[in-house]
C-alpha cells in the first residue's frame, strides 16, 4: 500500500510537467505557424503589389501617355498603382562636366558651396571627383590617386573612367562631407543623359542650387514652361530655340546667364518612369529609365537604359 501511494504521489507531478511541456510546445508551434502564415501573406501581398506596379509601368511605357493622364493612377479596393513620369535630362551628369576640355568641376564646386560646405571641403570633393574619372596619373591639388586610395584601404581605385552611376560618387575620397551636408544629393545627378542640363526639364532644386536662380525665378520659370495645363511633359509645354532665349524669359542677371550658357541646353529627353503598386498596405516601386530620342546626348530611342525595384 505504501508503495502504491508513493507511485501515485510521483504520477501527479509528472502529469503536470507533461501538460506544461505540451502547452509550451503547442504555443511554440502556434507561433511558428502564425509567423509562417504572416510571411506567406506578406509575400502574397508583395507579389500582388508588384503586379500592380507592372500594370502601371506597361501603360506608362507607351509614348503617347504623358504625365497627368488619368490612366496613370488606378485604385480598386485595396489594390492599385500610381505612376509618375519624369525626365532625366534635367539632371546633372558629372561626366559631362568633368570630362569637358577644360573641365568644369568649378560648377560642381558652386553646387557644393550652395549646400553649405566650407571651401576646403568643396575643393577636395571637386578635385576628388575629377581624379576619379581622369586617366592621368597626376593628382589634383586636393584630389586623390591610387596611393591615397590604397592607404585608405581601397586598393584598385580610382578607375580612371567616367562614373557608371551617381552612387559610385560615394566611393570618392573627400566626398563624405557632401553626403553629410546633402543626404538627397543623388537626386541631382544622372549618368543616363549625356548632354548639358535641359533647362526645360530641370527641377526647382537644380534651378536654384546649381544654376543660381532665386526661388521666385525658378517657380515662375517652371510655371511658364509647363504651359496652361501646369503639367510638365505635355503637348502645350513651352519650347525655346536657344539657351539665350530661355535666359531672357527667366530674367537672368549677367552672372546667372553666364552659368546657364555654360551648363544648360534646351533639348534632350530621357524618360524616367516610377510606378508604385500597392496591395493591402504593402508597396512595391519599379523605376525604369527609357531613351526617348536618337541624338548624341541620349542612347537610341526606345532603349531600356535602367530598371530597379524596391
Residue 227: the pLDDT is: 94
User: What phi and psi, each to the nearest 5 degrees, are found at residue 141?
Assistant: -55, -45
CA 83 to chain centre: 15
Does the pTM exceed 0.75?
yes
Element (H, E) at 41: helix 2-60
Residues 6+ apart with CB under 8 A from 185: 115, 178, 179
Residue 221: the pLDDT is: 98
* Cell, residue 95: 561626366
Nearest to 148 by CA among 166, 131, 168: 131
Q: Are 309 and 285 in contact (CB under 8 A)?
A: yes
The side-by-side arrangement of strands in the sheet containing 73-76 is 73-76, 79-87, 270-279, 282-291, 304-309
Kindly tell me the burial class for residue 192, based on how many C-beta atoms sit within 10 Å of its own C-beta (0-12, 13-18, 19 or more).
buried
Q: Are 284 and 276 in contact (CB under 8 A)?
A: yes
C-alpha dist (Å) from residue 199 to 243, 255, 308: 8, 16, 26
Element (H, E) at 309: strand 304-309
Residue 14: the pLDDT is: 64
pLDDT beneath 70, residues of the chain: 1-40, 293-302
CA 106 to chain centre: 24
Q: What is the CA radius of gyration of the chain?
A: 29
C-alpha dist (Å) from residue 88 to 124, 132, 193, 270: 27, 23, 6, 5
Query: DSSP 3-state assignment of 128?
Result: helix
CA 32 to chain centre: 38
C-alpha dist (Å) from residue 143 to 30, 78, 170, 171: 60, 53, 14, 13
Angle at 250 between CA 245 and CA 252, to 5 degrees: 90
Residue 43: the pLDDT is: 84
C-alpha dist (Å) from residue 265 to 57, 166, 230, 262, 283: 29, 21, 22, 9, 37
Cis peptide before 158 (omega within 30 of 0): yes
Q: Which CATH superfamily is domain 94-189 in?
A: EpsJ-like (1.10.40.60)
3 state SS for 159-188: CCCCCCCHHHHHHCCCCHHHHHHCCCHHHH
Q: Are 146 and 158 in contact (CB under 8 A)?
A: yes
Residue 299: the pLDDT is: 47
Amino acid at each position: 500500500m505504501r508503495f502504491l501511494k508513493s507511485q501515485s504521489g510521483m504520477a501527479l507531478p509528472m502529469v503536470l510537467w507533461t501538460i506544461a511541456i505540451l502547452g509550451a510546445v503547442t504555443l511554440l508551434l502556434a507561433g511558428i505557424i502564425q509567423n509562417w502564415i504572416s510571411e506567406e501573406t506578406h509575400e502574397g501581398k508583395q507579389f500582388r503589389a508588384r503586379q500592380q506596379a507592372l500594370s502601371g509601368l506597361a501603360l506608362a511605357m507607351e509614348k503617347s501617355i504623358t504625365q497627368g493622364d488619368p490612366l496613370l493612377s488606378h485604385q480598386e479596393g485595396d489594390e492599385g498603382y500610381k505612376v509618375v513620369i519624369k525626365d532625366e535630362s534635367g539632371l546633372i551628369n558629372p561626366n559631362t562636366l568633368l570630362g569637358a576640355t577644360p573641365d568644369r568641376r568649378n560648377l560642381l564646386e558652386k553646387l557644393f558651396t550652395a549646400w553649405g560646405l566650407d571651401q576646403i571641403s568643396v575643393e577636395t570633393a571637386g578635385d576628388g571627383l575629377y581624379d576619379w574619372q581622369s586617366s592621368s596619373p597626376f593628382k589634383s591639388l586636393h584630389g586623390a590617386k591610387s596611393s591615397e586610395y590604397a592607404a585608405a584601404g581601397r586598393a584598385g581605385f580610382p578607375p580612371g573612367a567616367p562614373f557608371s552611376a551617381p552612387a559610385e560618387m560615394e566611393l570618392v575620397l573627400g566626398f563624405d562631407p557632401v553626403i553629410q551636408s546633402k543626404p538627397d544629393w543623388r537626386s541631382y545627378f544622372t549618368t543616363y543623359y549625356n548632354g548639358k542640363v535641359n533647362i526645360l526639364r530641370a527641377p526647382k532644386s537644380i534651378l536654384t542650387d546649381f544654376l543660381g536662380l532665386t526661388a521666385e525665378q525658378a517657380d515662375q520659370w517652371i510655371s511658364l514652361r509647363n504651359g496652361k495645363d501646369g503639367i510638365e511633359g505635355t503637348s502645350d509645354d513651352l519650347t525655346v530655340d536657344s539657351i539665350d532665349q530661355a535666359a531672357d524669359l527667366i530674367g537672368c542677371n549677367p552672372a546667372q546667364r553666364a552659368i546657364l550658357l555654360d551648363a544648360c541646353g534646351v533639348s534632350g529627353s530621357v524618360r524616367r518612369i516610377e510606378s508604385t503598386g500597392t496591395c493591402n498596405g504593402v508597396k512595391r516601386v519599379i523605376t525604369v529609365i527609357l531613351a526617348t530620342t536618337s541624338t548624341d546626348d541620349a542612347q537610341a530611342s526606345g532603349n531600356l537604359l535602367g530598371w530597379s525595384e524596391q
